[in-house]
Amino acid sequence: MTERITLTSSIDGFTFAALKTMPRAEPIGLVVVVQEIFGLSDHIAEVCGVFADAGYVAIAPSLFDRVEPGFQAGHDADGVKKGIGAVRASPWRQVTADIQAAIDAAAQPAYVAGFCYGGAATWMAAAHCTGLKAASCFYGRLIEDLTDNAPKIPVMLHYGAHDASIPPENYERVRLAAPNAPLYLYDAGHGFCRAGNADYHAPSRELALKRTLDWFARWR
């Protein structure tokens, strides 16, 4: 079951929305699911369902509610422009505080997984948030600019080998900065986990999510 909840950030007391999906049985932990630039899309809701089916409480914070309550952006050029504007208006300290609010919302062993922009936000959460056990970053182009923020927890990384927006030199810099982090390349492009995306690749998505679940179980 998925419901909308509200969270409160410790940085400024701002109250913002989140999706929360509960598993059918007793939870084994919490996964914070971090959005792409498009807000709490159907894709993010669906990924919350995947983690809930695996036994986790899944919470996806709406990180751009300060920009626009209930922020949503389409996947066309205008939507991408709107999403990029929201990213630029959201300092990392604020973003990690909002993710921390999601971590604190459930008394469970906590993990974090994020996609695209959310992959970079997940890296930052791994460096700056407390109460996390492990993280999984999906095609986070911005991570290469954030490597001075060393993760404090085990991190796994996923990239599409045919992603034109993330060339090999990008993820190789990340590999050098985090040599102990498993880094996987998939026979896919950018956003391969999102159904409806031109680069959606079901086998890569399935494998990456399985690796993520195995990774979280390892650090339970």
Q: Which residues are catalytic?
A: 116, 163, 190
**Calpha distance 114→43 (Å, rounded):** 12
**Calpha distance 70→117 (Å, rounded):** 18
Q: How far is C-alpha 80 from the chain's CA centre?
A: 18
Q: What is the CA radius of gyration of the chain?
A: 16
Residue 175's contacts (CB-CB under 8 Å, 6 or more residues apart) are 157, 181, 183
Output the DSSP codes for 14-73.
-EEEEEEE--SSS--EEEEEEP-TTBS-HHHHHHHHHHHHTTEEEEEE-TTTTTSTT-B-
CA torsion through residues 148, 218, 40, 19, sign: negative
